[in-house]
Amino acid sequence: MAFVTRQFMRSVSSSSTASASAKKIIVKHVTVIGGGLMGAGIAQVAAATGHTVVLVDQTEDILAKSKKGIEESLRKVAKKKFAENPKAGGEFVEKTLSSIATSTDAASVVHSTDLVVEAIVENLKVKNELFKRLDKFAAEHTIFASNTSSLQITSIANATTRQDRFAGLHFFNPVPLMKLVEVIKTPMTSQKTFESLVDFSKALGKHPVACKDTPGFIVNRLLVPYLMEAIRLYERGDASKEDIDTAMKLGAGYPMGPFELLDYVGLDTTKFIVDGWHEIDVKNPLHQPSPFLNKLVAENKFGKKTGEGFYKYK
């Protein structure tokens, strides 16, 4: 009887271990790589929702600028959210900022993190080198995610030994205001990883949508061809950019016209995405380059961030 009991207990113990290993990761500690607009925004919303965050970039100067930007953004949020209670707003800002640490050494901080979110330059080689290095130092349970908007998640994940714990987590700019997050599942991403990232997105107050690892995911796959077709319409002389913008705002109910949006997103960013898709599928008419867009980018006219794109800005 004792032998049977021991066998039963072993069975229960083994079953419990298997069940525990299949449980979702509850993300509490987040490491964000990249202190630009996207990375800083992700760090802000994570810290504001009770997560401890380490924001990583190459220099202390970049990180100081990022932290300053986060503080300014938080004060705007607090002013609106705590309009009737400025003291509570101030406490919210201070508490959120205290949850964000900074570092210039990613490898030294990923050993105790639950999730690494990468938001660096859109360059596959650079991303692969980063994740290959971090893979050696991160804990076994740590999930890796890329915020790429145009590169294939699978190609980035293949640089690591944790393809089952790798996915896309695509936020939208400005992160504190935009509710959508695209959660990208590769053929190798485990269901446990996918569900953990969906739960994390919800914990941030975002609305996650699921998509397979297809070029552009959902939003950009539909948006970029629309923007490119607007450019072609203008290039052919069929309509002015002003009338095209007005038509889409008044006729389709869009908050911005395609040329206004192109200038906001950055013409260099749009060109990068289209060029990448064109390399993958040369014959696809939706992915054909635009001579006029190429010309503007060659002249360093990227849109609002440079003061001129399709429109001029003061």
pLDDT computed for residue 150 by the predictor? 87
Domain(s) labelled CATH 1.10.1040.10 in the chain stretch across 221-306
pLDDT of 309 higher than 70: yes
> pLDDT per residue over 93-119, tens digit each?
999 999 999 999 999 999 999 999 999
pLDDT digits 0-9 by tens, 149-208: 989 999 999 999 999 999 999 999 899 999 999 999 999 999 999 999 999 999 999 999
**Residue 305 annotated in ligand binding:** yes
CA distances from residue 173 to 41, 178, 181, 264 in whole angstroms, order as listed:
8, 7, 11, 10
In this prediction, residue 23 carries a pLDDT of 84
Annotated binding residue 158: no
- Within the chain, which residue ranges are assigned CATH 3.40.50.720? 26-212
Active site residue 182: yes
Is pLDDT larger for residue 133 or for residue 281?
133
Question: Looking at this protein, which amino acid is placed at residue 314?
Answer: K
Q: How far apart are CA 32 and CA 30, in angstroms?
A: 6
Count of residues making up the chain: 314
The answer to whether 127 is annotated as binding is yes
253: left (phi over 0), alpha (psi -120 to 50) or beta: left
List the beta bridge partners of residue 118. Answer: 33, 146
Say which amino acid occupies 52. T
Does the annotation place 178 within a ligand binding site? no
Which candidate in 182, 260, 287, 290 is catalytic? 182
Of the given ranges (64-73, 229-238, 244-253, 272-281), which has the lowest mean pLDDT? 272-281
Q: Does 73 appear as a known binding residue?
A: yes
Catalytic residue among 51, 118, 150, 170: 170
- Report the mean per-residue pLDDT for the chain: 93
Buried b (16+ CB within 10 A) or exposed e, 12-48: eeeeeeeeeeeeebebebbbbbbbbebbbbbbbbbbb
pLDDT tens-digit map of 6-54: 554 454 444 444 444 468 999 999 999 999 999 999 999 999 999 999 9
Q: Is 287 a catalytic residue?
A: no
Q: In CATH, what number does 26-212 get?
A: 3.40.50.720
192 is in an annotated binding site: no
The pTM assigned to this predicted structure is 0.88
Indicate if 278 belongs to the active site: no
Residue the block writes with tokens 């896309």: 168
pLDDT in tens, 116-141: 999 999 999 999 999 999 999 999 99
Task: Give the pLDDT score at 231.
Answer: 98
For domain 221-306, say whether CATH 1.10.1040.10 is its number: yes
Mean pLDDT of 205-227: 96
pLDDT value of position 314: 82
Is residue 79 scored above 70 in pLDDT? yes
Name the one residue in this structure whose structure tokens are 């995610």.
145
Predicted local confidence at residue 22, as pLDDT = 66
Choose the catalytic residue: 149, 150, 196, 290: 149
Which residue matches tokens 């399709």?
A: 310
